[in-house]
């Protein structure tokens, strides 16, 4: 039987349901308050703080109600701090900041500098985990300043190690992050946290910096040290994070079996243990397992792991680089299997989010710069008298700097002029590329007819195979190498190399780079959407494993940087 509801009947039904839901929720709220044991209600603020400290995931809202039922004088800074910390562990950063702010107000009013320092670190950590690096830096700055004033090495180390992670995520600050990591390692032996959980956390942060520096052997070395300590302490979260870092390091070292082994160990811990703040471990594990399958041309299996990321993240997680990179890989997978609708959906999402991420990164970079300026101003105040006596030398130095700036400016103008000439030549070359390719094919045929004997069927077959692979754009694949092409053309690497040298007039690597850069030049000129990609994304799209390698070969072939070429294409 089918029932039809008119508009009025439907509205009445919806109103009735909402009333029922209201009374039901009120009933359960009363039930919740009734379930709070008297033993907890009667606990002192200090006792309740200790209970919250050892509470489990999912219990934050329960203890929040108990804290709110306390009289005002019972709500101490330490109690609010632990409640905020509990919400942060449950990734409810909005409520975490709400209670950490309350704790901060009380601690500041009480002139408790140590508490202010600890709460500032907790707020900074919450912002960092939430992908809000600019806000994180503000509170790390505050914590570091207080710790240095109090000469508290432990709190200074904790705050500095997290601040180092923010710096490591910015290309122009990576070297500075590395120097901080080096200093922290030197100070570790005299740290009160040696061989404790914070020791493991510090090694995790240092591994992050070494991953960014592509020093994978150092990652493995310090990860092993952290795993040894974490295992002795039963510190499961630290172990999971370090297993992921080892899996990533082995992936980039091209030791795929070892990479899978440690990623699988991380998965086992994440699935069997109720770990808190496991967002990045979960995302990175699925992302790199997906990369394994992508490399093996098992695109559907890669999509399975990437969709696991998409289905578990919250909307606010879209500002995090790990998630943004997952969208790019997902778009690549869908494109490979011919599902262009999904490919463009995730590609557009990637481009939009990556632009927003870069904008936020610039804000973070500005905050770092402002911090450096603040430090510089403080030093200037301390050295005012010295500057007065050396003013003459300062003026001389200023004159020298102006002369140098003039020289640099002139050189820059000459370089820009040269780049413009090179750019215009490139555009002319690309416009004529199709006709050149046709001429080249005719020349190849003519050359083959004169240099290759009719009986030399093997050379003929290899050259025909190379032409087919070029037409299929096989050279865009990151796993395209001499051995792979030799296998495709049914010959061996040595013979293939000789054929390319003889008939293409270049070495294999030069041959590959020419194909990839020519493709990049043409597509960037023709495809406006492709130009909106980051240099790193463009590099991956045309077969390079890093943006540095792509930029190097692009400049070698064209004489200009890819960023300059893209920027000037907008004016063509």
Q: How do residues 316-335 score in pLDDT, each as one tens digit?
A: 788 888 888 889 999 999 99
For residue 413, pLDDT beyond 90: no
For residue 447, pLDDT beyond 70: no
Residue whose C-alpha is closest to residue 97's, from 108, 111, 83, 110:
83
**Band of residue 388 on the pLDDT scale cut at 50, 70, 90:** low
CA distance 348 to 333: 14
Residue 273 contacts by C-beta under 8 Å, 6 or more apart in sequence? 236, 237, 240
| CB-based contact 518:433 (threshold 8 Å) | yes
For residue 29, pLDDT beyond 50: no
443 vs 1, 432, 436, 450, 515, CA distance in Å?
Answer: 78, 16, 10, 11, 18
| CB-based contact 114:152 (threshold 8 Å) | yes
CA distance 389 to 382: 14
Higher pLDDT, 187 or 382: 187
Q: What is the pLDDT of residues 354-382, one digit of tens each?
A: 888 777 766 666 666 565 555 444 444 55
Higher pLDDT, 489 or 163: 489
Average pLDDT over residues 212-227: 91
CA distance 412 to 58: 59
Q: What is the pLDDT of residues 40-50, one digit of tens each?
A: 666 777 888 88
At 452 the pLDDT is 41
At 454 the pLDDT is 34
Return the number of other C-beta atoms located less than 10 Å from residue 403's C-beta. Answer: 10
For residue 349, give both structure tokens: 């999402």
CA distance 61 to 162: 28
Higher pLDDT, 57 or 382: 57
Higher pLDDT, 504 or 417: 504
State whether residue 275 is helix, strand or coil. Answer: coil
**Band of residue 244 on the pLDDT scale cut at 50, 70, 90:** very high
Average pLDDT over residues 53-72: 81
**Band of residue 295 on the pLDDT scale cut at 50, 70, 90:** very high
Q: What is the pLDDT of residues 104-160, one digit of tens each?
A: 999 899 899 899 999 998 988 888 888 788 888 888 888 889 988 888 888 888 888
> In the predicted model, what is the mean pLDDT of the chain?
79
DSSP classification of residue 338: T
275 vs 123, 131, 268, CA distance in Å?
Answer: 20, 19, 12
Average pLDDT over residues 25-37: 45
Q: What is the pLDDT of residues 470-526, one digit of tens each?
A: 898 888 888 889 898 988 888 998 999 999 999 888 898 999 999 999 998 988 888
Concatenated DSSP letters of 439-482: HHHHHHHHHHHHHS-TT-HHHHHHHHHHHHHHHTTGGGSTT--H
State whether residue 297 is helix, strand or coil. Answer: coil
CA distance 342 to 369: 40
For residue 99, give both structure tokens: 């209670």
CB burial readout 443-460, b (16+ within 10 A) else e: eeeeeeeeebeeeeeebe
**Band of residue 15 on the pLDDT scale cut at 50, 70, 90:** very low
Residue 311 contacts by C-beta under 8 Å, 6 or more apart in sequence? none
For residue 17, pLDDT beyond 60: no
First to last CA, the chain: 67
For residue 246, pLDDT beyond 80: yes
For residue 391, pLDDT beyond 60: yes
Average pLDDT over residues 71-96: 84
| CB-based contact 104:116 (threshold 8 Å) | yes
For residue 297, pLDDT beyond 90: yes
Q: Quick one: CA torsion of 550, 552, 554, 559, rounded to 10 degrees? A: 170
Residue whose C-alpha is closest to residue 203's, from 232, 164, 261:
164
Angle between helices 60-69 and 77-89 (to 10 degrees): 160
Residue whose C-alpha is closest to residue 164's, from 130, 211, 197:
211
At 100 the pLDDT is 92
State whether residue 505 is helix, strand or coil. Answer: coil
Residue whose C-alpha is closest to residue 158's, from 120, 129, 109, 108:
120
Q: Quick one: CA torsion of 528, 530, 536, 540, rounded to 10 degrees? A: -160
Average pLDDT over residues 516-540: 89
For residue 127, give both structure tokens: 């912002």
Average pLDDT over residues 382-406: 64
This prediction has a pTM of: 0.52
Calculate what percentage of the chain has a pLDDT beyond 70.
76
Higher pLDDT, 358 or 411: 358
Which of 394-398, 422-426, 430-434 is predicted with the least confidence, judged by mean pLDDT? Answer: 430-434
């601690």: which residue's tokens?
107
At 24 the pLDDT is 41
Q: Is 561 left (phi over 0), alpha (psi -120 to 50) or beta?
A: beta
Higher pLDDT, 274 or 16: 274
At 242 the pLDDT is 93
Q: Which of 43-57, 233-247, 304-318, 347-361 has the highest mean pLDDT?
A: 233-247
Q: Which helix (H) or strand (E) holds 425?
A: helix 391-431
Average pLDDT over residues 278-304: 89
Concatenated DSSP letters of 177-201: HHHHHHHHHHHGGG-TTTTSHHHHH
| CB-based contact 284:314 (threshold 8 Å) | no
At 344 the pLDDT is 93
At 422 the pLDDT is 66
Q: Quick one: CA torsion of 526, 546, 264, 258, rounded to 10 degrees? A: 140
Higher pLDDT, 22 or 322: 322
For residue 235, pLDDT beyond 50: yes
**Band of residue 390 on the pLDDT scale cut at 50, 70, 90:** low
């Amino acid at each position: 039987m089918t029932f039809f509801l008119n508009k009025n009947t439907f509205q009445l039904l919806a109103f009735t349901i909402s009333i029922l839901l209201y009374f039901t929720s009120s009933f359960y709220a009363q039930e919740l308050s009734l379930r709070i044991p008297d033993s907890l209600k009667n606990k002192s603020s200090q006792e309740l703080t200790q209970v919250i400290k050892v509470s489990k995931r999912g219990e934050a809202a329960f203890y929040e109600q108990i804290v709110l039922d306390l009289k005002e004088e019972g709500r101490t800074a330490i109690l609010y701090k632990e409640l905020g910390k509990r919400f942060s562990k449950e990734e409810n950063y909005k409520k975490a900041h709400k209670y950490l702010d309350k704790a901060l107000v009380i601690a500041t009013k009480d002139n408790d500098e140590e508490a202010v320092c600890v709460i500032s670190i907790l707020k900074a950590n919450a912002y960092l985990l939430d992908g809000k690096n600019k806000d994180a830096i503000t509170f790390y700055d505050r914590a570091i300043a207080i710790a240095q004033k109090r000469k508290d090495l432990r709190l200074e180390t904790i705050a500095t190690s997290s601040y180092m992670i923010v710096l490591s995520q910015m290309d122009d600050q990576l070297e500075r992050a590395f120097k901080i990591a080096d200093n922290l390692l030197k100070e570790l032996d005299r740290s009160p946290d040696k061989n404790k959980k914070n020791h493991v956390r510090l090694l995790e942060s240092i591994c992050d910096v070494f991953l960014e520096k592509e020093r994978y052997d150092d990652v493995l070395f310090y990860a092993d040290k952290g795993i040894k300590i974490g295992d002795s302490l039963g510190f499961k979260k630290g172990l999971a994070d370090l297993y992921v870092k080892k899996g990533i390091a082995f992936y980039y070292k091209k030791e795929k079996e070892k990479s899978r082994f440690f990623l699988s160990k991380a998965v086992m811990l994440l699935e069997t243990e109720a770990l808190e703040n496991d967002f990045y471990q979960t995302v990175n594990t699925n992302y790199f397992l997906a990369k394994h399958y992508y490399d093996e041309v098992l695109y559907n299996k890669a999509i399975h792991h990437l969709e696991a990321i998409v289905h578990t993240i919250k909307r606010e997680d879209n500002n995090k680089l790990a998630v943004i990179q997952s969208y790019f890989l997902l778009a690549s997978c869908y494109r490979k299997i011919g599902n262009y609708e999904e490919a463009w959906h995730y590609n557009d999402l990637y481009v939009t989010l990556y632009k927003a991420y870069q904008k936020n990164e610039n804000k973070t970079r500005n905050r770092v710069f402002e911090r450096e300026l603040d430090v510089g101003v403080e030093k200037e105040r301390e050295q005012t008298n010295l500057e007065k006596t050396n003013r003459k030398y300062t003026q001389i130095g200023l004159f020298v700097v102006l002369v140098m700036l003039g020289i640099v400016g002139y050189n820059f103008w000459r370089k820009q002029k040269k780049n413009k000439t090179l750019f215009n030549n490139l555009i002319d070359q690309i416009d004529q590329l199709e006709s050149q390719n046709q001429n080249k094919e005719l020349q190849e045929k003519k050359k083959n007819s004169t240099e290759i004997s009719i009986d030399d069927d093997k050379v003929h077959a290899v050259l025909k195979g190379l032409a087919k692979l070029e037409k299929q754009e096989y050279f865009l694949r990151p796993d395209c190498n001499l051995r792979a092409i030799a296998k495709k053309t049914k010959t061996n690497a040595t013979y293939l190399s000789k054929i390319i040298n003889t008939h293409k007039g270049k070495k294999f690597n030069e041959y590959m780079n020419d194909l990839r850069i020519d493709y990049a030049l043409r597509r960037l000129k023709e495809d406006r959407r492709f130009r909106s990609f980051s240099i790193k994304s463009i590099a991956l799209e045309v077969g390079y494993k890093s943006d540095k390698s792509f930029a190097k070969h692009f400049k070698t072939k064209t004489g200009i940087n890819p960023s300059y070429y893209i920027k000037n294409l907008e004016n063509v």
